C-alpha cells in the first residue's frame, strides 16, 4: 500500500478515492493501525498545518475532514479487534442558545482523526447536560463551542455547573469558537483555548498522552 496516494486523496478531499484505497489496503492485509496512523491521521496532520498556516481554508479543510471520516468509518468496526485503544474520551457540544455547529463538527472530526473517542452532544446544549454526559461516559476532556458574543457567558455557566456538582477537577475543559479568546479562557478558568480545529485536536492528543504518562 502506498500511503502517499491515500494521503494525497485525503488532502484533496476525495471521499470516493479514500474509500476505495482504504478498502484496498484492507484487502492487502495492511494492519488497521497502520491504515489509521499512516494513511488517515498523518495526512490530516498535514491538512491541519496547511490550515493553520492559511495555505488552505475552511471549505478545503471540511472536504479533507469528510474524506478522512469516510476512511475512519470503514476501519472503525475493526479497531477493537486489532487492539487499538482510543487515546481518550471527549464530550463536545455547542453551548445553550447557540445553534452554530460547523466549527464544532470540524473540531470533533479532527479529534476523531487523532484517534480520540468523541461524543458529540450537539447544539444548544443545557449546562447540566455536559456534566451528565461527561460523567456517564467517563470523559477525559469536555470541549465547549460558542459562536456568539451573547452565548459566550454560557461557557462560564457550564464550567460553574461542573464546579457546583463537585466534579470540575476530573475534566480538562477546552473552549473555542470565533469570539472566544485566551483572555476569556483565563477569565472563566478554562483549561485550554485554541483558535482552530487542528490545534484543538493536537492539544487534546498531547494532553491525553501526558495524562497517560503521568499515570504510568
Ligand atoms: C454559518 C453561520 C450561521 C448559520 C449556522 C449554521 C450552522 N449549522 O452552524 C446560521 C444561519 C444558523 C446562523 C445563525 C445566526 N447567526 Co451566525 N454565523 C454564521 C457564520 C457566517 C459562519 C460561522 C462558521 O461556521 N464559521 C466557520 C467555522 C469553521 O469557524 P468557527 O465556528 O469559528 O470554528 C473554528 C474555531 O472557532 C474553532 N472552534 C470552534 N468551536 C470550538 C470548540 C473548541 C473546544 C475549540 C478548542 C475550538 C473551536 O475551530 C473551528 C475550526 O477551525 C458566522 C460569520 C463568521 N465569519 O464567523 C456568523 C455569525 C457567527 N453569526 C452571527 C449571528 C448574529 C447569528 C444570528 C444571531 C443571526 C440572526 N439574527 O438570527 C443567528 C443566531 C442563531 C443561534 N441562536 O445560534 C454573528 C455573531 C455576532 C456576534 N458578535 O455574536 C456572526 C459573527 C456573523 C456577523 N458577522 O454578524 N449563523
Taking the C-alpha atoms of residue 206 and residue 61, their distance in angstroms, rounded to an integer, is: 21
Using 50, 70 and 90 to split pLDDT, how confident is the model at 16?
very high
**How many Å lie between the centroid of ligand 1 and the Cα of residue 37?**
31
Taking the C-alpha atoms of residue 20 and residue 27, their distance in angstroms, rounded to an integer, is: 11
174 lines ligand 1 (CB under 6 A): yes
Fold of 3-82: 1.10.1240
Do the beta carbons of residue 24 and residue 1 sit within 8 Å? yes
Dihedral sign (CA 174, 179, 182, 186): negative
pLDDT in tens, 148-182: 999 999 999 999 999 999 999 999 999 999 999 99
**How many Å lie between the centroid of ligand 1 and the Cα of residue 102?**
8
In the chain, list all ranges with CATH 3.40.50.280: 89-215
pLDDT in tens, 32-59: 889 988 998 889 889 888 988 999 998 9
- Write down the CATH number for the domain with range 89-215: 3.40.50.280
Q: Which atom of ligand 1 is nearest to the CA of 58?
A: 29
Q: Given the C-alpha cell 480520540, which residue does it identify? A: 116
Amino acid at each position: 500500500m502506498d500511503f502517499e496516494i491515500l494521503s494525497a486523496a485525503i488532502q484533496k478531499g476525495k471521499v470516493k478515492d479514500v474509500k476505495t484505497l482504504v478498502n484496498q489496503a484492507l484487502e492487502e492485509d495492511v494492519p488497521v493501525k497502520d491504515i489509521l496512523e499512516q494513511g488517515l491521521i498523518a495526512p490530516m496532520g498535514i491538512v491541519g498545518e496547511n490550515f493553520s498556516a492559511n495555505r488552505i481554508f475552511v471549505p478545503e479543510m471540511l472536504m479533507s475532514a469528510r474524506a478522512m471520516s469516510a476512511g475512519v468509518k470503514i476501519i472503525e468496526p475493526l479497531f477493537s479487534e486489532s487492539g487499538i485503544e482510543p487515546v481518550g474520551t471527549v464530550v463536545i457540544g455547542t453551548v445553550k442558545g447557540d445553534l452554530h455547529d460547523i466549527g464544532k463538527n470540524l473540531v470533533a472530526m479532527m479529534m476523531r482523526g487523532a484517534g480520540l473517542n468523541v461524543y458529540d452532544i450537539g447544539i444548544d446544549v443545557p449546562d447540566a447536560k455536559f456534566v451528565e454526559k461527561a460523567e456517564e461516559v467517563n470523559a477525559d476532556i469536555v470541549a465547549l463551542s460558542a459562536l456568539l458574543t451573547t452565548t459566550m457567558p454560557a461557557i462560564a455557566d457550564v464550567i460553574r455547573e461542573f464546579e457546583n456538582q463537585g466534579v470540575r477537577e476530573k475534566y480538562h475543559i477546552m473552549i473555542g469558537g470565533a469570539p472566544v479568546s485566551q483572555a476569556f479562557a483565563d477569565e472563566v478558568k478554562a483549561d485550554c483555548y485554541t483558535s482552530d480545529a487542528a490545534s484543538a485536536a493536537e492539544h487534546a492528543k498531547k494532553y491525553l498522552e501526558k495524562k497517560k504518562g503521568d499515570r504510568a
